[in-house]
Amino acid sequence: MSQLDDIKDKFKSLYQQIAQKIQESSWFAQLQDRYQTLSPQGQKAVWVGGSLITVFIILFYPFSLLFQSQSSIAVFEDKRALIRELFRTYHESSARPQISMPPPIDNLRSSINSILTGSELLPEQNIGVIESSVEGQLIPKSLVSHVLQVKLAKLNLKQIVDIGTSILGLSDSVKMKDMTITANGQDSRYFDVTYMLYSLNVPEPTPEPPPEIEDKPKKGSKAKSKANGDKEDKKGSDE
């Protein structure tokens, strides 16, 4: 408690010294003379203005710290949200995508023929769905299970788009690598198109191991082991 009193005394003496120096200065004497020459309304206005300035000086520092802390909190929350978004994006990108197994080649060919039949093409328009091989180095051969070429002739642009969209909707594991469109040699109003379909080589998911089943002791063996225990306890007591 004595240390607190010493601090108070030091501040009080320091305040008195500063006040004495201010009162002894020439500019304070000039201000005091000007203040005394003012009217009562002017002196009141000076008191009010000085009080407001004093209050502003006293409150300026804590309010500036408050505004600075609020700005720091806003910056922190923005950075935290950005870091969370980066982590979420990282986890989503690193997660293994669930790709469905591609259909067998016969089923895929049958589905494509069903689409062509539903498009009501003429016999001369449907050239055929034939099996092909991997072309180029864009997709490694190890990632492709089989390749199909769908060749059609004398189609308009709407038919090309509709048939291509329907084929792409068959499976997520069947990708259209190329689509070649050329003008028909007999009628330039129509186009010949070749869809190159790649069926991806998706590995089969590893089956989960069956849950382990704990072997429960049979009732007979449990009763037998209990009887043997009772006999041993009885024999020990007789001895």
Does a structural domain hold residue 191?
yes
The predicted-structure confidence for 4-15, as pLDDT tens digits, reads as follows 777 777 777 877
User: Which residue range(s) make up the domain with 115?
Assistant: 105-200
In a domain, 150, yes or no: yes
**Pure H helices in the chain:** 2-24, 26-37, 40-94, 105-118, 157-168, 219-238
Cα distances from 90 to residues 83, 97, 98, 239, in angstroms, run: 10, 13, 17, 74
- Reported as a single tens digit per residue, the pLDDT across 107-133 is 989 999 999 999 888 889 999 898 888
Whether 147 is covered by a domain: the verdict is yes
Instruction: Provide the mean pLDDT of the chain.
Output: 79
* Residue 94 domain flag: no
Q: Does residue 162 register a pLDDT over 90?
A: yes
pTM of the predicted structure, to 2 decimals: 0.46
CA contacts within 13 A on the Cβ side of 179: 11
Question: Domain total for the chain?
Answer: 1
pLDDT score of 164 more than 50: yes
From CA 149, how far away is CA 126, in angstroms rounded?
Answer: 12
- Digit-coded pLDDT (tens) for 82-106: 999 888 887 776 665 566 778 888 8
How many angstroms separate the first and last alpha carbons of the chain?
A: 80
CATH number at residue 178: 3.30.70.60
Give the tens place of pLDDT for each residue, 165-182. 999 888 888 888 889 999
